[in-house]
A and B are shown apart, each in its own frame.
Chain A
Amino acid sequence: MQFLFRYANPHNFMRLSGAVLPFTVIACLMCLGLGLYLGFSAPPDYQQGRTVLLMFIHVPAATMAMTVYGAIAVCSLLSLVWRHPLSDTAARAAAPLGALFTVLGLITGSLWGKPMWGTYWVWDARLTSFLLLLFVYIGYMALWNAIEDEIRAARAAAILALVGAVNIPIIKFSVEWWNTLHQGESIVSGKTAPVFLAPLLLMMGGYFLLFLTLWMVRIRTAILERRARNLMQAGAR
């Protein structure tokens, strides 16, 4: 907790992120590069053929979509309960990234579904929950934009994020229940062959590092924008 608060100071955060960024960028490129190379070199999967390549961009996107929302929920908690100053900025900065990961998850999931199940969309539990998650993200970003007072917007968004965080597991459960009710097809899920595990993990790592990188860049941008706004307001007096 002390650690988190030490970097609550924007100045410290700028320094820390500035130092860390080059490493995350390099690590991200390495992970993605190696992951893609291994992925494209691996032999076709027994069941799925070459479409297993889609797993390498679908699963990381889907995982990040959920992870980013978790990060937003944690930031919202820090903001509401401990009044951690940078958390609001961080949460707001992460939201578009999470929404885009969700969109990617939906598109790649749909394109993966067509060869597998024959249609571009299937109302299965995973895709349906993702669609709902996308709406949750959109609502969150819309709330931030709608309220003019930044402090109020931050608090309202934090409340919404936490309500969503409680609700999302319930949504997932209800969608899965709904799916079994209507006897939908489940995604062909088997064990991932080891030859695919390495590229998959590398891609997941790469996506995560990409998120961290872009998140830090966006928080830094927000800090600079706020400084500029403060300067303008000071100059206006």
Chain B
Amino acid sequence: MRAFTTLLLRDIKLAARSGGGAALALSFFALVATLVPLGVGPDLGLLARMAGGILWVAAVLAALLSLDRLFQGDFEDGSLDLIALSPLPLELTALAKIAAHWLSTGLPLTLLSPLLALLFNLAPPATLILFLSLLIGTPAVSAVGAIGASLTLSLKRGGLLLPLIILPLLSPVVIFGAGAVALSLDGLASANALGLLAAFAFAAMLLSPFAAAASVRLNLGN
């Protein structure tokens, strides 16, 4: 347990140190949220209806930004080999890294979202649903993202391959997350959508450490 928390805290500190961690993702999130209205026009009625989808897509893209460094940094300087040799099972290592990624990216994005929802004139009840959906869904983004990161970790120009691999896999998250907001805007209960989202997130957190660990092992040459 101690090894888990040590790794978790280490990764959070590393994320904060290199590239500003949360600050980068938050800025990107806010930028995209600004860019879309510039693209579609300032009609607040339209923007309010699109807010859920736009903010969810922006959040996923922002979370993607730091994913390729999830394993690659440690891989390149050899720390990953050492970590893999430690008594902590590789699956738990993966889980720790996923948790660290969420705490340093997904959670800050979630916390910023109500402010950005203001830009879109999103009604308060819907904003609450947006916040909840991001809170539940961003861990899934980190989890699924970890699978992609571990598969591509040995690639130097893995660049666009990582989003290409995981974005289709993340479509249910965007669908359920933004769908919950849309339901709320129509005055309907979002519990169903949030429940489906939670189920997906739960399954992702449960299964992706195994897939990620298997991918790390194969890239470490075992």
Contacts and interface: CB of A to CB of B under 8 A. Distances in A.
Direct contact of A and B (CB under 8 A): yes
A155 to B, nearest CB: 4
Interface stretch (A36-44, A114-122, A165-173): A165-173
Nearest to A173: B172
A159 B151 contact: yes
A105 to B, nearest CB: 16
Interface string B166-183: 011101100110010011
Interface string A102-146: 000000000000000000000000000000110110110011001
B161 interface: yes
Given A170-B200, A171-B171, A181-B179, A160 B151 contact: yes
Contact of B165 (A139, A166, A173, A175): A139
Interface string B196-222: 100010000001000100110011000
B183 A181 contact: yes
A156 interface: yes
Interface residues of A, number: 29
A186 B188 CA distance: 22
Contacts of A182: 182
B129 to A, nearest CB: 14
Interface string B123-162: 0000000000000000000000001000110110010010
B164 interface: yes
A138 B152 CA distance: 15
Contacts of A133: 168
B10 to A, nearest CB: 26
Given A142-B165, A177-B176, 14 more contacts: A135-B164, A139-B161, A139-B165, A142-B161, A147-B154, A152-B154, A152-B218, A159-B151, A159-B211, A159-B218, A167-B168, A170-B172, A174-B172, A175-B175
List the 10 closest pairs (A to B, CB-CB), nearest first.
A174-B172, A139-B165, A135-B168, A155-B218, A174-B175, A178-B175, A139-B164, A132-B168, A167-B169, A136-B168
Interface of A: 132-133, 135-136, 138-139, 142-143, 146-147, 152, 155-156, 159-160, 162-164, 166-167, 170-171, 173-175, 177-178, 181-182
Interface of B: 147, 151-152, 154-155, 158, 161, 164-165, 167-169, 171-172, 175-176, 179, 182-183, 193, 196, 200, 207, 211, 214-215, 218-219
